[in-house]
Amino acid sequence: MTSYLLAGGGTAGHVNPLLAVADALRERDPDASVLVLGTAEGLESRLVPERGYELLIVDKVPFPRRPNRQAAAFPARFRRAIAQVRAHIRTHGVDIVVGFGGYASAPAYVAARRERVPFVVHEANAKPGLANVLGARAAAGVGVAFAGTPLRGSEVVGMPLRREVIALDRQATRDEAAAHFGLDAERPVLLVFGGSLGAQRLNEAMADSWGDILAAGWQLLHVTGERSDMVDPEVPGYALRRYVDRMDLAFALADLIVSRSGSATVSEVSALGIPALYVPYSVGNGEQRLNAASAVDAGAAQLLDDATFDGDAVRRLVVPLLGDRARIERMAVAAENVGTRSGTDNVIALVDRALGAA
């Protein structure tokens, strides 16, 4: 029986691909031991047990960014975290570690190396995190979601995706999706969303321009996020939702998407071959712009600037595109060649190869 330890967490971008791989490993071999390593504070502390996996805890030890008291305490805290992971590896007879980035991954890579256990790295963003940059130097295999990601020895494997996205037949599901959201399956749909918490910039732009979108002959499916206080105008052709637990149905209905460009979003949209207008979140280290680069280069997507994205920008840039069906069709054809639905299988192939070499 093989024992796998999957390390990662903190955000959905780390937890969701981890869980996709965990599910596939468990489905392939029900007798395998699939364990998850994470922190008590991250999103994994809720999502992992809910999915039925044992969560092994490691201390959250951020890498210091500047010389201060926290930096002085870092070496001792990091050694303690490594010791915790080494104890987990011994107790559970772990055969291989698979890291997805985040606070749990850095000590996991060091612990695996010291215990002479092979480890594999998966990087979801085009701009890799520090834990994976360091881990890739000694990994038995390194997979990245996007071409051009600067990680030593990496190969493009794509993103491990949710099963409902991998299995989605958009054409066959369109009627069901339209009924679910109260829209017309025969008319085109613009899907706008900003992630589970929403995106205020996108919401404000849509609040000012939804009438122009409807006037262009399109319907609007707008997922505002749970924290939004937007008022639903309750007009035909405009479906406003705070939260959608069936994003597969939203994707099935979308003829064009306006969204942020987080790694999971770009990977899912690209895998499904949907043309997109991405508005990269301007806060951070610029990874969202890089995540969308391959889709933009292929002609499947276009970047819009967050700082100037408002109702006027929608009228100036988005509405004219809605009227150019030929261009949207070209984007859709290009989109079909950008993404992959085999990311989960590709990561598992990396894991199998590492186990075989070991």
> Which of the listed CATH numbers 3.10.20.740, 3.40.50.2000, 3.40.50.300, 3.30.465.10 matches domain 164-335?
3.40.50.2000
Per-domain residue ranges of the chain: 3-161+341-357, 164-335
Q: Do domains 3-161+341-357 and 164-335 have the same CATH topology?
A: yes
Of 307, 266, 304, 272, nearest to 287 by C-alpha is: 266
- Could you tell me which residues come within 8 angstroms of residue 130 by beta carbon, excluding any fewer than 6 positions away? 63, 106
Task: Show the 3-state SS of 69-130.
Answer: HHHHHHHHHHHHHHHHHHHHHHHHCCCEEEECCCCCHHHHHHHHHHCCCCEEEEECCCCCCH
pLDDT in tens, the chain (358 residues): 999 999 998 877 789 999 999 999 999 999 999 999 999 988 899 999 999 999 999 999 888 877 787 878 888 999 999 999 999 999 999 999 999 998 999 999 999 999 999 999 999 999 999 999 999 999 999 999 999 999 999 999 999 998 999 999 999 999 999 999 999 999 999 999 986 555 899 999 999 999 999 999 999 999 998 888 888 999 999 999 998 989 999 999 999 999 999 999 999 999 999 999 999 987 767 789 999 999 999 999 999 999 999 999 999 999 999 999 999 999 999 998 888 999 999 999 999 999 998 7
Of 6, 177, 216, nearest to 102 by C-alpha is: 6
Q: What is the DSSP letter of 32?
A: S
The yes/no answer on whether domain 3-161+341-357 falls in CATH 3.20.20.70 is no
- Could you tell me which residues come within 8 angstroms of residue 305 by beta carbon, excluding any fewer than 6 positions away? 279, 313
Q: What's the pTM?
A: 0.90
